[in-house]
Amino acid sequence: MAFCSRNSRNIIIINLLKSKVGSSRLMKLSRVCCYGTCLNSTNHCRFLPSTTTLPQLGNPDPNSHKKGHSPCSQRFQSTKSGQQFASLPNGEHSQVLDFPGGNVVFSPEMQFLSESPNVYNPCYRVLDDNGQLISNSVFVQVSEEIAVKMYSNMATLQILDTIFYEAQRQGRISFYVTTIGEEAINIASAAALTSDDVVFPQYREPGVLLWRGFTLQEFANQCFGNKADNGKGRQMPAHYGSNKHNYFTISSTIATQIPHAVGAAYSLKMDKKDACAVTYFGDGGTSEGDFHAALNFAAVTESPVIFICRNNGWAISTPTSDQFRSDGIAVRGQAYGVRSIRVDGNDALAMYSAVHTAREMAVNEHRPILIEAVTYRVGHHSTSDDSTKYRSADEIEWWRMARDPVTRFRKWIETNGWWGSEAESQLRSSIRNQLLQAIQIAERAEKPPVKDLFRDVYNNIPSHLREQEKLVRETINKHPKDYPADVPVDVAVKDDGVSVYDVDVIVHDDDLIIHVR
């Protein structure tokens, strides 16, 4: 087997395969060869020079940052920009500057790093467009049970999206965001994680929550903002959050969650937990400063965090050509010292394998991993968007039908004899009925009481907010017609004759001193 070892990514793959030898989970080894990133004018692969050492996995060298890069990951000389030489000519080692950042090799030639590679960063995929395994593909095996659960969740997500979208169109909920086209990213990534891994989503990842057990009723409750919404009706629909499921509450702001994930990952590392942090964002989100800040912090703090970018081609109406000029997102990882991979986001098996592997690296090696999942946003950006205004309906239809990740995965599980048309129709009608019912229940339920407007701004309600609540209640009494009828305005339930919100609690020398206002 010829191993191209000049690219550090390939080296990593090699070691991983070696470590997995004997594990039944690893399927066929591929010819792990240059995916075109080892470049020279003749495009040959070269063997690793015997003098070079491979980077060690599993026992990260804490001083590696001082020693500088391994020769295989250094930038090489070339006579033209855009070309990279295969290896470091031995003679050049003599001129070296021992710089605080590492050993820097001099060069009398002036060469600029190219702004673009000769070949696009390859995209890892395992299933072809017809859901059939590509020969010699490397992937992590999935049991029938998991595969069927993955498929069911993907189909459920599709139906959930369709029905909620309709509900918004009917005026029953104010807003909705679909995940159509990105079901594989959502479900397969979630399936590859454990329930202890903490998730910091953007807003197009309800599938992760679905996988973890958030019920259809709970989704409906949040969208209708009723009193059972664990967010207490404070945010727009589709802004889910659940501490029970380790899924941090969504905020509409783009990319702000990415550095949060890094801090959370650092905490997990300090607590020595077998868990990582995972955060999702779109191609647009990678332009925000928070993305860059987070990757850099993750590398420096050596935090076990997985960055999953859903590169779906569009940020509302902005195509990726208006978003960045790099070859996508995964290539940026190396610039920050973050290991990264580009994956076919519509290939559930590839997504599962990549995330599974990334998680092991993150947790065992205390390092961040960047995954660029290439996909397509089939739906509009949201219910406030009509994407036919900036892209062709044909393009949308093509991706919806020919490249549907759900169908593709279904074909694979059917090929394995794990699924059939009867199971399919049963699932779809069952989910549909459950959803319609959940929506009816959610719609009829009461909204949270008006006191929830004033609570949780701080851990306790401060006096100025209590005062404002009092004034608002006076206004409500005076002008009841100004206010929605389905928001209860009753005063807080009394306990032991004392309103729970009218009490100061002070801790004094281990005694609770309760001052009743």
Q: In this structure, what token pair is assigned to residue 283?
A: 């191609």
Which residues make up the interface to another protein (CB under 8 A)?
Answer: 198, 200, 229-232, 234-235, 239, 241-243, 248-249, 251, 253, 256, 258-268, 270, 277, 289-290, 293-294, 296-297, 300-301, 455-460, 462-464, 495-496, 498, 500, 503, 505-510, 512, 514
Least spacing, CB of residue 401 vs another protein, in Å? 37
Nearer to another protein, 313 or 448 (CB): 448
Least spacing, CB of residue 504 vs another protein, in Å? 10
Nearer to another protein, 40 or 249 (CB): 249
Q: How far apart are CA 323 and CA 168, in angstroms?
A: 29
Q: How far apart are CA 302 and CA 375, in angstroms?
A: 29
Which residue of the set 182, 381, 387, 469 is catalytic?
381
User: How far lies 377's CA from each of 113, 134, 149, 158, 314, in Å?
Assistant: 33, 25, 23, 13, 7
Least spacing, CB of residue 483 vs another protein, in Å? 20
Q: How far apart are CA 376 and CA 384, in angstroms?
A: 19
Q: How far apart are CA 439 and CA 441, in angstroms?
A: 5
* Buried-state track 189-201, b at ≥16 Cβ within 10 A, e below 16: bbbbbeeebbbbb
Measure CA 26 to chain center: 24
Least spacing, CB of residue 107 vs another protein, in Å? 28
Nearer to another protein, 235 or 326 (CB): 235
Which residue of the set 41, 252, 384, 430 is catalytic?
252
Q: Under the phi-then-psi rule, with left for phi > 0, alpha for psi from -120 to 50, and beta for the rest, what region is 246?
A: left
Which residue of the set 115, 144, 166, 397 is catalytic?
166
Nearer to another protein, 227 or 400 (CB): 227
Nearer to another protein, 200 or 376 (CB): 200
- Is 382 noted as a catalytic residue in this protein? yes
Least spacing, CB of residue 61 vs another protein, in Å? 16
Q: How far apart are CA 103 and CA 93, in angstroms?
A: 10
3-state SS class at 107: coil
CA angle 396, 401, 403 (to 5 degrees): 85
- Is 94 noted as a catalytic residue in this protein? no
Residues 6+ positions from 506 with CB-CB distance below 8 Å: 512, 513, 514, 515
The residue to which tokens 């202890």 are assigned: 196
Helices (H) and strands (E) in the chain, counts: 14, 13
Least spacing, CB of residue 176 vs another protein, in Å? 18
Nearer to another protein, 140 or 199 (CB): 199
Q: In this structure, what token pair is assigned to residue 500?
A: 């729970």
Q: Which residues are catalytic?
A: 166, 252, 381-382
